[in-house]
Amino acid sequence: MTVNDSIEKIVLGQRRYFKTGATRDVNFRIEQLKKLRAALIAKEDEVIDALRKDLNKSEQEAFSTEIGIVYKEMSHIIKNIRKWAKPRRVRTALTHVGSRGKIHPEPYGTVLIIAPWNYPWQLAIAPLIGALAAGNTAIIKPSELTPAVSRVISSLIKETFPEQYVAVVEGGPETSTRLLEQQLDYIFFTGSIPVGKIVMEAAGKKLIPVTLELGGKSPCIVHEDTPLELTAKRIIFGKFTNAGQTCIAPDYLLVHHRIKEPLIQHLKEAIIEFYGDTPLHNLDYGKIVSEKHFNRLSDYLSNGSIRHGGKTDAGKLLIEPTLLDEITWDMPVMQEEIFGPILPILTYENLDEVITSVNERPKPLALYLFTKDSEVQQKILSSISFGGGCVNDTLMHLATPYLPFGGVGESGMGAYHGKHSFQTFSHMKSVLKQTNMFDFHFRYPGKEGLNLLRKLMKP
């Protein structure tokens, strides 16, 4: 059987299984999520080893950014799924006296989840949890750039679920293309903007709804009143976790000109504290995922001037945490998302300058603002559109199941995590149940009820 035949067989089998109605039962969904949780716990050591092989993630980073987030998401959804899945009654309009309106969450059907390489475990399993909680069947396409994690995901799913319910299809871009040609009911994609456009085009041909979790150049604005040592630590944490290969990492700094030099000093100190004087020899410092990405990032090191870091090891695909100064907006490093351990630094004199600079560019996936001034916070948050972000921190908005995570504009569409995952993978079906005890004649043709209609409906 060819790969194409196998993909068609999987999709057809899942569509048939979904039509049996087995996945609609909430007790079934909870049972399957608990089976998945048990399987995740059993495979935890394998996941940690695989993340080390593919990205050189330390055990601490693997657990905090990949495994722990998934456990938290799983527990939150299992705890709340019965409440979310219940039909929800809504208010009755005056024109509908005697009727009752309800919203019934229902699953879409067969869902395709295309996962990226930078957080290959979290960004495959977290959407899967939402898809199964909503009552769908699911196909996962892991990234071919992280083969060790892909193999663990594949073995875990095969050992836990029948293929007609959840399946994993491994392969390169041609496999993704073939999957996108299938008659699916929902597509959830995490990845780059260019590939996101391809996914959306393919979905549009079949009118398949999509969620696109993309990226962009996420600004980090540092105002003059912020505590510099703490601010520096939180910026370095957000930027250099996973060697900067994070879709919501601070892409560049916009620093008030009065505090640039002292902030750079604190940034250097934080880098040394976290990664040592020689990060290239730190066994827990992450590597770049491929030679192609390493070469792309290395080219940026010639932009501006290096204030810290800048050393590389091509054989090990390592680039030191690097601070770039004397950066201008027209330099190559400012033209696309960096997605690596390089942090350009620009300065500003007033907030209007910041707002104009950010708003002249595509809407970012994240925005970070460091200031104690509530008026500054309000001005920035109300003037700039972005997917999500933090005030006085970085990355942490992603780690709570109570906030929706997603982009806006070029940084994506749709959101997930917690209840928002359940809603993303559910169609909210509207149902009006009408009484037969009486009837209103004003809704039928004729002038008899026109005056009453005017009273009920006119503003």
Q: What is the pLDDT of residue 379?
A: 98
Specify the pTM: 0.94
Show which residues are catalytic.
213, 247
pLDDT at residue 341 greater than cutoff 70: yes
**Contact of 246 with 328, CB cutoff 8 Å:** no
Instruction: Tell me what the mean pLDDT of segment 52-66 comes to.
Output: 96
Q: What is the pLDDT of residue 435?
A: 87
- 98-134, pLDDT tens digit by residue? 889 999 999 999 999 999 999 999 999 999 999 999 9
Instruction: Tell me what the mean pLDDT of segment 264-292 comes to.
Output: 97
**How does the average pLDDT of the chain come out, rounded?**
95
Handedness of CA 395, 352, 217, 205 (dihedral sign): positive
Place of tokens 């979905």: 203
Residue 331: pLDDT band with limits 50, 70, 90: very high
pLDDT at residue 246 greater than cutoff 60: yes
Nearest of 112, 118, 116, 159 to residue 15 by alpha carbon: 112
Q: What is the pLDDT of residue 437?
A: 86
User: What's the token pair of residue 328?
Assistant: 């201008």
Residue 143: pLDDT band with limits 50, 70, 90: very high
- 295-330, pLDDT tens digit by residue? 999 999 999 999 999 999 999 999 999 999 999 999
pLDDT at residue 2 greater than cutoff 90: no
pLDDT at residue 1 greater than cutoff 60: no
Q: Where are the domains of the chain?
A: 3-214+411-431, 219-406
- 219-406 folds as Aldehyde Dehydrogenase; Chain A, domain 2 (3.40.309)
Nearest of 236, 254, 220, 234 to residue 345 by alpha carbon: 254
Q: Which residue has the higher pLDDT, 445 or 275?
A: 275
Q: What is the pLDDT of residue 438?
A: 85
Nearest of 354, 363, 422, 425 to residue 388 by alpha carbon: 363
Residues β-bridged to residue 343: 323
Arch. (CATH architecture) of 3-214+411-431: 3-Layer(aba) Sandwich (3.40)
Of all residues in the chain, the percent with pLDDT exceeding 90 is 92
Nearest of 188, 235, 193, 243 to residue 65 by alpha carbon: 243
pLDDT at residue 452 greater than cutoff 80: no
Equal fold, 3-214+411-431 vs 219-406? no
